[in-house]
């Protein structure tokens, strides 16, 4: 009888706490959170294809990361601002939630203050991340987790209606993946707002990237499992990404200057069109080579890595402001020398690194060119010679490239 009464008393205290506010230092609240955490992790570990794991509204404090390894599972909260999983007191596990699964959907919840990455998904196919917020509530700090929403080595990925705040690397990051759509999402107070890295076929549209160090990044880094190409960035609002860079030293994004709108680095077949790109104080668009990043690996760079941006097409955008207060002594000096105290760098800034092996009579072949339309000004900063001979001639960029097709993934045809 005593054991039964004890069990009933414990159950009663936990059930009661689900209907009242909980404080981190209250023993009963801690017991309730521990019971919730154990139950949720057991659900994830025992999950089978077709299961829907529902997390009710509440603000839950977890001390360890969550892991899912079953295919075909949906994790569903009561809403982005109703179901909050807080990892502020996390002791074990670097991620908030780590998923090794395909046919996985997560929606309607917030993950906050994880020790490392917020939501990481590895090696899955058919991944849907919808109405998920990942944030660090203490502001933009180097001690925050590197990535907010972080699918890597995945296929057929849909990220929609999400929010990412204060990641010390990238708020929404998709790496080494195929066939990706990132849409209707918001990224702010991150080093990189939205980053597409070493990924093939990505559409990034209808997003807002504001108050990051760099708004939207399309990168190719060396020594990874694949090279990326074919990314379209369109119909986004990329505004006032002037936050000081707070990335850890030695990381690739540590080289991104504050005030960067859209940044293309060492990638190919990239289209930037129909965006509102405004008031990014270094430049609204930056096109650069790996040679400008200052990022080098101890192992060196693999022989097959191509460090040069190629087949970059910028057209039909709406630019305003920007370029008036570039970050870094070199860029400040460049602006002063070329445009004076009251001038500004143009909307498109190219570092000037070019693959000289491809030149024919001093020109790149059509498939490797950088094309900028609509009379937008461009500055070749002459990075190879440390900005000694920058060039404002726009004639070399007045060209047109074949447009990329839309990305098709099963989630879009099903909606």
Judge whether 31 lies within some domain. no
DSSP β-bridge partners for residue 16: none
Residues whose CB is less than 8 angstroms from the CB of residue 10 and which lie 6 or more positions away in sequence, other chains included: 31
Judge whether 281 lies within some domain. yes
Judge whether 97 lies within some domain. no
Judge whether 77 lies within some domain. no
**Domain enclosing residue 349, as ranges:** 136-409
Q: Hey, what are 288's tokens?
A: 């650069």
DSSP class per residue in 307-332: -S-EEEEEES-EEES--SS-SSHHHH
CB 77 within 8 A of CB 55: yes
Give phi and psi for 5, each to the nearest 5: -65, -40
Would you give per-residue pLDDT tens digits along the chain (415 residues)? 322 222 222 233 333 223 222 223 333 455 668 999 999 999 999 999 999 999 999 999 999 999 999 999 999 999 999 999 999 999 998 999 999 999 999 999 999 999 999 999 999 999 999 999 999 999 999 999 999 999 999 999 999 999 999 999 999 999 999 999 999 999 999 999 999 999 999 999 999 999 999 999 999 999 999 999 999 999 999 999 999 999 999 899 999 999 999 999 999 999 999 999 999 999 999 999 999 887 766 677 888 899 999 999 999 999 999 999 999 999 999 999 999 999 999 999 999 999 999 989 888 888 899 999 999 999 999 999 999 999 999 999 999 999 999 999 999 987 6
For the chain, the domain total comes to 1
Judge whether 98 lies within some domain. no
CB 97 within 8 A of CB 66: yes
CB 99 within 8 A of CB 121: yes
How far separated are the first and last CA of the chain, in Å rounded? Answer: 55
Judge whether 230 lies within some domain. yes
Angle formed at CA 151 by CA 115 and CA 102, multiple of 5 degrees: 115
Cβ neighbours around 331 below 10 Å, total = 20
DSSP β-bridge partners for residue 107: 76, 130
| CA-CA-CA-CA torsion sign (20, 25, 27, 30) | positive
Judge whether 404 lies within some domain. yes
Judge whether 325 lies within some domain. yes
């Amino acid at each position: 009888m005593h054991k039964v009464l004890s069990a009933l008393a414990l159950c009663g205290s936990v059930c009661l706490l689900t209907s009242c506010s909980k404080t981190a230092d209250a023993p009963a609240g801690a017991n309730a959170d521990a019971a919730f955490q154990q139950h949720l992790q057991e659900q994830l570990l025992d999950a089978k294809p077709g299961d829907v794991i529902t997390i009710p509204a509440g603000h839950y404090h977890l001390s360890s990361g969550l892991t899912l390894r079953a295919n075909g599972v949906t994790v569903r909260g009561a809403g982005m601002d109703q179901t909050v999983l807080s990892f502020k007191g996390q002791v074990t596990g670097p991620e908030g939630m780590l998923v090794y699964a395909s046919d996985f959907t997560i929606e309607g919840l917030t993950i906050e203050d994880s020790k490392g990455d917020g939501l990481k998904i590895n090696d899955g196919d058919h991944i849907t991340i919808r109405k998920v917020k990942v944030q660090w509530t203490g502001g933009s700090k180097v001690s925050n987790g590197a990535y907010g929403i972080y699918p890597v080595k995945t296929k057929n990925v849909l990220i929609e209606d999400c929010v990412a705040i204060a990641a010390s690397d990238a708020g929404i990051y998709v790496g080494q993946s195929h066939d990706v759509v990132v849409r209707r999402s918001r990224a702010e107070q991150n080093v990189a707002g939205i980053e597409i890295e070493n990924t093939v076929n990505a559409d990034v549209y209808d997003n807002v990237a504001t108050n990051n160090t760099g708004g939207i990044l399309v990168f190719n880094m060396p020594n990874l499992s694949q090279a990326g190409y074919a990314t379209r960035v369109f119909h986004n609002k990329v505004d006032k990404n002037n936050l000081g860079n707070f990335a850890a030293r030695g990381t690739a994004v540590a080289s991104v200057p504050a005030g960067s709108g859209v940044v293309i680095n060492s990638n190919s077949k990239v289209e930037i069109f129909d965006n509102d790109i405004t008031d990014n104080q270094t430049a609204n668009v930056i096109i650069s080579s790996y040679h400008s990043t200052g990022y080098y690996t101890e192992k060196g760079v693999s022989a097959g890595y191509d460090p040069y941006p190629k087949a970059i097409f910028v057209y039909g955008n709406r630019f305003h402001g920007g370029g008036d207060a570039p970050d870094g002594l070199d860029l400040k000096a460049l602006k002063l020398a070329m445009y004076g105290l009251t001038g500004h760098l143009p909307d498109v800034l190219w570092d000037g690194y070019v693959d000289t092996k491809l030149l024919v009579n001093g020109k790149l072949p059509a498939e490797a060119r950088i094309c900028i339309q609509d009379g937008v000004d461009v500055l070749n900063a002459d990075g190879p010679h440390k900005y000694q001979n920058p060039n404002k001639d726009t004639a070399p960029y007045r060209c047109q490239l074949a447009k990329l097709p839309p990305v098709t993934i099963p989630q879009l045809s099903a909606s």
